[in-house]
Amino acid sequence: MADEEDIILAELDDDELVQQMHDDLYDGMQEEIVEGVNILLSRGWAPYDVLTKALVEGMTIVGIDFRDGILFVPEVLMAANAMKAGMGVLRPLLAETGAPRVGKVVIGTVKGDIHDIGKNLVSMMLEGAGFEVIDLGINNPVENYLAALEEHQPDILGMSALLTTTMPYMKVVIDAMVEKGIREEYAVLVGGAPLNEAFANSVGADSYCRDAAVAVETAKEIMAIRMAGQKAG
Ligand code: B1M
């Protein structure tokens, strides 16, 4: 079997390279991930395919082994950083539609939660679809969301939570919006691995988004409804 040093990524065919990138992601090898992303792009791969097939699928494997106690936080953090490095190459390409802004989204991960890969992916895909995205980052208390809504007046508020212990915080934010009398001004979309539609309904969100692609589709549908409402009004 070849040593890691012996593997020349550019000499692998597409399937082998994607497989190797899953392994490199698992091992948290940032430089190799960036190199792999660039090679796939140079071979004509669409940025979205590189993202989903090479990076997201690789991260899924990391997630399974984290769950099963094979990987621990430091290793997963390294994998996450390698994923982010790859996403950094793809971000401008996914955002490069040149389309006029179709709507504005404020998005952030809720208080107590520092997971941001999924949220970043959603932001990137929304930007790619022509949305202006204001990303509040991680660990956001309700005050951050309210301040951002007031400052940026978006069409949509997006919230992300990856932990069963933090997802109930979405209700805190939505309840605060109701209390301030501003809930109806914004569409609220929520997402994150432990959520589902029933949960989204129970906290008073407008929609649950299973993944970034669904988030984009849902955001577009919301904008179509808002535009139709504006024309009718
Ligand atoms: Co964490 N972690 N983690 N972790 N981590 C999970 C979530 C976990 C499921 C792992 C496991 O046990 N299998 C588990 C949660 C269990 C639970 O609550 N049910 C867990 C745990 C327990 C923890 C800690 C408590 C571990 C510890 O310290 N003992 C700790 C908590 C820290 C905290 O937040 N306070 C912790 C820490 C970490 C790291 C820091 C090491 C790292 C995060 C690094 C980072 O994000 N910068 C990490 C990671 C990487 C994971 C896993 C492995 C991967 C998450 C990820 O990035 N997935 C994760 C296991 C898993 O989910 N399989 C796990 C890839 C990403 C593309 O998918 O985030 O689901 P996802 O996003 C998707 C959709 O969900 C959706 O679209 C995205 C793109 O398609 N989506 C939205 C997400 N947000 C959206 C918002 C929207 C719309 C759609 O708004 C409109």
CA of 197 from ligand 1 middle (Å) equals 18
Confidence of residue 228 (pLDDT cuts 50, 70, 90): confident
10 burial type by CB count under 10 A (0-12 exposed, 13-18 middle, 19+ buried):
exposed
- Hey, which of 115, 155, 207 would you mutate to test ligand 1's pocket, going by the most ligand atoms within 8 Å of its Cβ? 115
Q: If you take atom 54 of ligand 1, which residue's CA is the nearest one?
A: 63
pLDDT of residue 2: 45
pLDDT, one tens digit per residue, over 86-126 is 989 998 888 775 556 689 999 999 999 999 999 988 887 78
H-type helices in 50-193, by residue range? Answer: 57-67, 73-95, 117-128, 142-152, 169-179
pLDDT, one tens digit per residue, over 136-188 is 999 999 999 999 999 999 999 999 999 999 999 999 999 999 999 999 999 99
| Domain architecture of the chain: domains with CATH | 1-99 (1.10.1240.10), 101-233 (3.40.50.280)
CA of 218 from ligand 1 middle (Å) equals 22
CA of 115 from ligand 1 middle (Å) equals 5
- CB burial of 194-229 (b: ≥16 within 10 Å; e: otherwise) equals ebeeebbeebbbbbbbebbebbbebbbebbeeeeee
pLDDT, one tens digit per residue, over 40-80 is 999 999 998 998 899 988 988 887 898 889 988 889 889 98
